[in-house]
Amino acid sequence: MAFQNVTIAGTGVLGSQIAYQTALNGFNVIAYDRNPDTAKKRVSALKASYQNDLGLSEDEFNAGLSRLSFTADLAEAVKDADYVIEALPENLEIKEEFYKQLAKLAPAKTIFASNSSTMVPSQLVKFVDRPAKYLHMHFANKIWNASKFVLMNLTNYDESFVPTADDLTLADQWIVQKYNETVQSVTSNLDKFELGEAASSVYDFIWNTYCDWYIELAKPRLYSERDERDRRTVQYLLVTILRHMLELLHPFMPFVTEHIWQHLPHEGDSIVVTKWPEALKFDNLEGAARQMEVMMDAIKGIRNMRAEMNVPLGKKAEVIVAPQMKH
């Protein structure tokens, strides 16, 4: 499909940049926002940064603006849309209501793409009555980029090193617990021939748990030279869990998983004949996983507030956390 008409839903700090950048690249863009006048001001405010950072002339900047229009009417925004990019605040209720309306209004040809860091396409499937074929189009790219990151950070990797329970941080304990749950879910559903449930389990883990959270949490430890054992621990978990996730995913995506698996540290000739993944055996994981999820909920809440108040991405804000006391 050749895309021509693109709708951007939500013009906060990120959405306004996506809208203008898309228009600058020659697409016809409609920005949907409940307050289109404010949205237009946000985009116009990008002028100085685009002129300074990209060297755009005033005429070039205005040429981008000429392909961009604004509306508060969702039906008007999507009536001819080939592609809709959602950049709404990270609030699942807001997103669910938006996608339900979008599914009723958008043409059958329209492809939906979410810019969410907290919602995965399998959740989107629940909100819209559309074929799922367009909702997973970036998954292989997600795996590929995650794998490149892991492979680029295997300096001094020791294949013989296996961490002990004492080596695991809270984030490590959480990812291992989530991995173990995924192995159990995929294996159980395949045994029952519930192929859709099995695929969804491994998909959600790779996208929303491993890529969006654990890799980000691992970066400071990979780049630090102060604690060699800690760096080896995070390397072990990144490699081991990625390799086993590829093995779980292999029945559904055979070619890309084989290719990446061959480049990771592994045993055997092929992913086809390797041993089926099993749980990693560490103690006291469940309590740590619950603690980690409380921290993640707090982070998501802060992100939501920043997005709703249009706080610039690079601006730091003081956060006060007041835990609820149970009596």
Beta-carbon contacts of 260 under 8 Å, excluding residues fewer than 6 positions away, are 143, 144, 147, 246
Rounded alpha-carbon distances, angstroms, from residue 224 to 54, 180, 215 = 33, 28, 15
DSSP, collapsed to helix, strand or coil, labels residue 9 as strand
* Confidence at residue 134, expressed as pLDDT on a 0 to 100 scale: 46
* Confidence at residue 73, expressed as pLDDT on a 0 to 100 scale: 94
Radius of gyration for the chain, computed over Cα atoms and rounded to the nearest angstrom = 22
Contact 126, 103 (CB under 8 A): no
- Residue 112 belongs to what H/E stretch? strand 111-114
CA 100 to chain centre: 21
Largest CA distance in the chain: 64
Hey, how many other C-beta atoms are within 10 angstroms of the C-beta on 203? 22
Residue pLDDT tens, the chain, 327 long = 467 899 999 888 778 888 888 888 888 999 999 898 988 888 888 888 778 777 888 898 899 899 999 999 999 999 999 888 888 887 778 888 888 888 889 888 887 777 665 565 556 666 666 555 444 546 777 888 889 999 999 988 889 999 998 899 999 999 999 999 999 999 999 999 888 788 888 988 998 899 989 999 999 998 877 888 999 999 999 999 999 999 999 998 888 899 999 999 998 889 999 999 999 988 777 788 888 888 888 888 887 777 777 777 667 878 887 777 665
CA distance 25 to 29: 10
**pLDDT tens, residue by residue, 91-119:** 778 888 888 888 889 888 887 777 665 56
Task: Give me the DSSP letters along 171-219.
Answer: HHHHHHHHHHHHHHHHHHHHHTT-HHHHHHHHHHIIIIIIIIIIHHHHH
* Confidence at residue 2, expressed as pLDDT on a 0 to 100 scale: 61
* Confidence at residue 313, expressed as pLDDT on a 0 to 100 scale: 65
